[in-house]
Each structure stands twice: as structure tokens, then as C-alpha cells.
């Protein structure tokens, strides 16, 4: 059986990745495809424990950028080998909410860690399996902040990344756009303005191209 397709959803905070991932899963399932949805950091019990540390660690002991990078990659390594690669081998389509382009944007561009090191770790952790298609849901930082801010108020939870400065998030957005420019076959920028249905129409065009 042919390997399944691996599709990732990226973008700044509040761009609506999770909603689009859900709509995408419904769409593909309605075409009788076997689909699993997952997320990073996380996706397995062990990787979800690392997610908890990465998202909400606070207190006197600082979580250093280098440690953050290695924990992200550790979570990814576990997630790939435990869940994603076996699912792809079974012929499942895997939809993942964030993947290694987030490491390039957040730990690379925004935290300023060496790009070559990040590229090497991304490939090592992912077992050299690249996504077949990546959507970058693009939204200006202010709109993303407003949406993410509302979400945080509702959830009532401290989030280390959402608490970062505007200039941090500007660097994240610029980095995503640069990745898309450098890898235009794999990475598609999708305007995240509009209703979820309007945004999904933009995504569906690329899905139809992928499956012909
Ligand atoms: P989210 O799933 O709610 O988007 O939260 C995940 C957070 O983790 C988000 O702020 C981006 C961040 N992140 C990184 O910094 N590096 C990574 O490699 C990944 C996967 C996520």
C-alpha cells in the first residue's frame, strides 16, 4: 500500500489552524480517506507531558531557549516514531497542528538559535520525513493577538508563547513567510482572514491538487 500523505498546519497564534485542521479532516473523511489528526508539541502521552512543560512552565528557574529547542525536538522524535510514521506506513493521511516549521520560526528566528543547527535537529527528530504539504495560515500579528487573547481569557491559562512580545511574534510571522518563499512547492500561504468556511475553501483547492 502507498504511504499516506503528511499535511501540516502552521501559522502565528490565533490564525485558526486547529479549526482548519478539523474542517480538513471532515472533508477528507467524507471522501472515504483514513485520517488521523494530531498536534505538536504533543500527540502521544509522553510528548504531551513535554508540551505541558513547554507551554506553561513558570517560576524562578528559567526555561532556556536551548532547552526549549531540545524539548521540542524530543517531543517530535517521540511523536514521529510512535504515531506519525507508523500511521503513514499504514496508508493513513496525517494532519498535524504545527510541525518543524514552527521550530524554525519560534526557536530559530524568534529566539535566535542557529538555523543550521535547527535544520539538522528538525530532520533528525522527524526521521527525515518531510511533510508533503504545509499550510501557513497567515494573519497580521494584531488580529492574531486579539483572537489568541480571547482564547486565553476563556481558558484562563498562562501560555509562555502567547505571553511573548509583539516583536517576537512579528519575527515568527516573517519567518513563516520566508519558509514559504524558499519552499513554495511544499509550503502554501493561506490568507486566514474571513470565516472558517471561506478560509477552508482556499485550503481545499490545494488538497484537490494534491490528490489530483
Ligand atoms: P499551540 O498548539 O496552541 O499553537 O501551541 C504550541 C506553541 O508552541 C505555540 O506557541 C508555538 C510553540 N512551538 C514552538 O515554539 N516550536 C515548535 O517546534 C512547535 C511545534 C511549537
C-alpha cell of 58? 513558570
Return mean pLDDT, the chain: 95
Digit-coded pLDDT (tens) for 4-37:
999 999 998 889 999 999 999 999 999 999 999 9
Considering the domain boundaries, does residue 64 fall inside one?
yes
More confident residue, 142 or 132: 132
Band the pLDDT of 149: cuts 50, 70, 90: confident
What was the pLDDT predicted at 153?
A: 67
Q: How far is the CA of 168 from the centre of ligand 1 (A)?
A: 13
Q: Which atom of ligand 1 is nearest to the CA of 41?
A: 20
What was the pLDDT predicted at 143?
A: 87
Considering the domain boundaries, does residue 158 fall inside one?
yes
Q: What is the CATH number of the domain that holds 90?
A: 3.40.50.300
What's the number of domains the chain is made of?
A: 1
Considering the domain boundaries, does residue 201 fall inside one?
yes
Considering the domain boundaries, does residue 94 fall inside one?
yes
Instruction: List the one residue out of 15, 5, 3 whose CA is nearest residue 162.
Output: 15
Q: Taking 80 as the threshold, does the pLDDT of residue 179 lie above it?
A: yes
Considering the domain boundaries, does residue 177 fall inside one?
yes
| CA gap 49, 85 in Å, rounded | 20
Phi, psi at 161, each rounded to 5°: -80, -40
What was the pLDDT predicted at 207?
A: 96
What was the pLDDT predicted at 110?
A: 97
Q: Which atom of ligand 1 is nearest to the CA of 39?
A: 2
pTM summary value: 0.96
- Characterize 78-104 residue by residue with b for buried, 16 or more Cβ atoms within 10 angstroms of its Cβ, and e for exposed: bbbeebbbebbeeebbbbbbbbbbbbb
- Whether the CB-CB separation of 210 and 133 falls below 8 Å is answered with yes
User: What would you measure as the largest C-alpha separation in the chain, in angstroms?
Assistant: 53
Q: Residues with Cβ < 8 Å from 131, sequence gap 6 or more? A: 6, 7, 8, 96, 99, 186
Lay out the sheet containing 93-97: strands in order across: 35-39, 93-97, 6-10, 133-138, 187-191
Assess whether the previous peptide bond of 115 is cis (omega < 30° from 0). no
Task: State what percent of residues in the chain have pLDDT above 70.
Answer: 97
Q: How far is the CA of 103 from the centre of ligand 1 (A)?
A: 8
Full residue range of the structural domain in which residue 35 is found: 6-211
More confident residue, 157 or 173: 173
Considering the domain boundaries, does residue 1 fall inside one?
no
Q: How far is the CA of 32 from the centre of ligand 1 (A)?
A: 30
What was the pLDDT predicted at 173?
A: 96
Q: Which atom of ligand 1 is nearest to the CA of 106?
A: 15
Closest residue (by CA) to atom 3 of ligand 1?
Answer: 13
Instruction: Please state the three-class secondary structure of the chain as a single string.
Output: CCCCCEEEEECCCCCCHHHHHHHHHHHHHCCCCCEEEEECCCCCHHHHHHHHHHHHCCCCCCCCHHHHHHHHHHHHHHHHHHHHHHHHHCCCEEEEECCHHHHHHHHHHHCCCCHHHHHHHHHHHCCCCCCCEEEEEECCHHHHHHHHHHHHHHHCCCCCCCCCCHHHHHHHHHHHHHHHHHCCCCEEEEECCCCHHHHHHHHHHHHHHHHC
Digit-coded pLDDT (tens) for 85-128:
999 999 999 999 999 999 999 999 999 999 999 999 999 999 99
Amino acid at each position: 500500500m502507498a504511504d499516506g500523505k503528511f499535511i501540516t498546519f502552521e501559522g502565528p497564534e490565533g490564525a485558526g489552524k486547529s479549526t482548519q485542521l478539523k474542517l480538513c479532516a471532515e472533508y477528507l473523511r467524507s471522501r472515504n480517506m483514513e485520517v488521523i489528526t494530531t498536534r505538536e508539541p504533543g500527540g502521544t502521552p509522553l510528548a504531551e507531558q513535554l508540551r505541558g512543560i513547554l507551554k506553561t512552565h513558570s517560576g524562578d528557574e528559567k526555561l532556556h531557549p536551548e532547552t526549549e529547542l531540545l524539548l521540542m525536538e524530543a517531543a517530535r522524535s517521540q511523536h514521529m516514531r510512535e504515531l506519525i510514521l507508523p500511521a503513514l506506513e499504514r496508508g493513513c493521511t496525517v494532519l498535524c497542528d504545527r510541525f518543524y516549521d514552527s521550530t524554525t520560526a519560534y526557536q530559530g528566528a524568534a529566539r535566535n538559535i542557529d538555523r543550521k543547527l535547527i535544520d539538522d535537529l528538525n530532520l533528525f527528530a522527524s526521521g527525515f520525513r518531510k511533510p508533503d504539504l504545509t499550510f501557513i495560515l497567515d494573519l497580521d500579528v494584531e488580529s492574531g493577538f486579539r483572537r489568541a487573547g480571547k482564547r486565553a481569557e476563556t481558558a484562563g491559562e498562562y501560555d509562555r508563547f502567547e505571553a511573548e512580545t509583539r516583536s517576537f511574534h512579528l519575527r515568527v510571522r516573517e519567518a513563516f513567510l520566508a519558509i514559504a518563499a524558499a519552499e513554495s512547492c511544499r509550503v502554501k500561504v493561506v490568507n486566514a482572514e474571513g470565516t472558517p468556511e471561506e478560509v477552508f475553501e482556499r485550503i481545499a483547492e490545494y488538497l484537490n491538487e494534491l490528490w489530483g
